[in-house]
């Protein structure tokens, strides 16, 4: 197969799923991974794709910080469906942590008022959404408030979190990457989220399909730390297979 034929194959595969890996291309094209990396570099120089560690995508994988007021207007139907499905993983008398973000906010808003829970959160909008739930005991983590997310971060929130152990964490993220794991745009929030994962028995990620193949500044954890991911049908086919290979329960709404 000539270089031009390889390039055409790579772009065709990208057109199908929006994402390819070096290892898969090496097997499909029957060439070395060194050859594939050279092909991807040439295609990137032409502006036809974006390279990452061991993979390539059709759009830039990097996500910058944006206001929650902007993000709450995006993928509304998908986020609502994801939030409602996440209720299936909620049981009476549990102590849970709810992270920050528009998808977990939709989850908090959907929690039945009769549900008996203890909820820890750093997100002020999540606390406000649960104030009317008389059976929910709220624990608000404190610290420096990020205005873009309305969530507390930093040393005080992390120190407070160390005093608790919870059943489950319901977490939103800015990016889900096969090579870089879970990420968010703020390093302090990423560190707090990592502490949240360490404080629970099960981590449930609520992420719409646009988050897959994306990465942001602050790494939260590897994908191996995740138990369940709930997303919508737009998730790339490659991610479906790879996440199941990692033993992650993938729920598609």
What is the spatial distance between Cα 138 and Cα 23, in angstroms, rounded to a whole number? Answer: 47
pLDDT one-digit tens code per residue, 122-163: 999 999 999 989 999 999 999 999 888 889 999 999 999 999
- pTM of the predicted model as reported, rounded to 2 decimal places: 0.78
73 pLDDT higher than 80: no
Mean pLDDT of 73-94: 91
Point out the least confidently predicted range of 71-75, 80-84, 196-200: 71-75
What is the rounded average pLDDT of the residues 15-37?
89
pLDDT by residue (tens digit) across 107-116? 999 999 999 9
Query: What is the CATH number assigned to the segment(s) 68-252?
Result: 3.40.50.1360
- Pairing between strand 55-57 and 19-21? antiparallel
Q: What is the pLDDT of residue 214?
A: 86
3 state SS of 62:
strand
Please give the pLDDT value at position 56.
86
Q: Which of 72-86, 124-138, 178-192, 211-225 has the lowest mean pLDDT?
A: 72-86
The pLDDT of residue 107:
97
Tokens representing 103 are 């998808």
Q: In sequence order, what are the residues at sequence separation of 6 or more whose Cβ sits closer than 8 angstroms to the Cβ of residue 129?
A: 105, 108, 109
Indicate if the pLDDT at residue 101 is higher than 70.
yes
What is the average pLDDT across 169-195?
A: 93
What is the per-residue pLDDT across 28-54, written as a single tens digit (0 to 9) for each? 999 999 999 999 999 988 888 888 778
Q: What is the mean pLDDT of residues 233-245?
A: 88
Determine the straight-line distance between the first and last CA of the chain, rounded to whole angstroms: 40
Q: What is the mean pLDDT of the chain?
A: 91
Residue ranges, comma separated, of all CATH 3.40.50.1360 domains in the chain are: 68-252
Q: What percent of the chain has pLDDT over 70?
A: 94
Q: Where are the beta strands (DSSP E) in the chain?
A: 19-21, 50-52, 55-57, 62-63, 94-98, 117-121, 136-140, 144-146, 151-153, 166-171, 175-177, 181-184, 200-206, 215-216, 218-221, 228-231, 249-252
Residue spans in the chain of domains classed CATH 1.10.10.10: 3-60
Ramachandran bin of 213, using left for φ above 0, alpha for ψ from -120 to 50, beta for the remaining angles: left
Residue pair 170/97 in contact by the 8 Å Cβ criterion: yes
Long-range contacts of 160-164 (CB under 8 A, 24+ apart): 161/120, 161/192, 161/195, 161/196, 161/199, 162/195, 162/199, 164/95, 164/120, 164/139, 164/199
Q: Mean per-residue pLDDT for 57-63? A: 73
- Which CATH code, of 2.60.120.920, 3.40.50.620, 1.10.10.10, 3.40.50.150, is assigned to 3-60? 1.10.10.10
Two structure tokens written together for 69: 């007021």
SS3 217: coil
Confidence of residue 68 (pLDDT cuts 50, 70, 90): low
Nearest to 192 by CA among 158, 164, 159: 158
Which whole number is the average pLDDT over 78-94? 96
* pLDDT on residue 67: 59
pLDDT higher than threshold 60 for residue 66:
no
**Span 211-238, mean pLDDT?**
92
- Mean pLDDT for the stretch of residues 78-83: 96
């Amino acid at each position: 197969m000539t270089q031009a034929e390889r390039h055409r194959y790579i772009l065709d595969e990208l057109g199908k799923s929006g994402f390819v890996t070096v290892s898969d291309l090496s097997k499909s094209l029957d060439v070395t991974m060194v050859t594939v990396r050279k092909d991807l570099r040439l295609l990137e120089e032409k502006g036809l794709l974006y390279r990452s560690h061991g993979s390539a995508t059709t759009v830039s994988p990097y996500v910058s910080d944006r206001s929650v007021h902007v993000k709450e207007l995006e993928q509304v139907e998908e986020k609502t469906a994801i939030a409602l499905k996440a209720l299936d993983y909620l049981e009476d008398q549990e102590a849970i942590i709810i992270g920050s973000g528009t998808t977990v906010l939709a989850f908090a808003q959907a929690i039945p008022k009769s549900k008996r829970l203890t909820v820890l959160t750093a997100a002020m909008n999540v606390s406000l959404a649960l104030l009317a739930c008389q059976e929910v005991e709220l624990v608000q983590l404190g610290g420096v408030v990020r205005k873009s997310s309305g969530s507390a971060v930093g040393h005080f929130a992390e120190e407070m979190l160390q005093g608790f152990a919870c059943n489950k964490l319901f977490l939103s993220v800015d990016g889900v990457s096969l090579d870089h794991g879970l990420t968010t745009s703020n390093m302090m929030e990423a560190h707090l989220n990592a502490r949240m994962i360490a404080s629970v028995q099960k981590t449930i990620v609520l992420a719409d399909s646009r988050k897959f193949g994306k990465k942001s500044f602050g790494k939260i954890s590897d994908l191996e730390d995740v138990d369940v991911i709930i997303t919508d049908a737009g998730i790339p086919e490659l991610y479906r297979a790879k996440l199941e290979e990692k033993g992650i329960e993938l729920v598609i709404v």
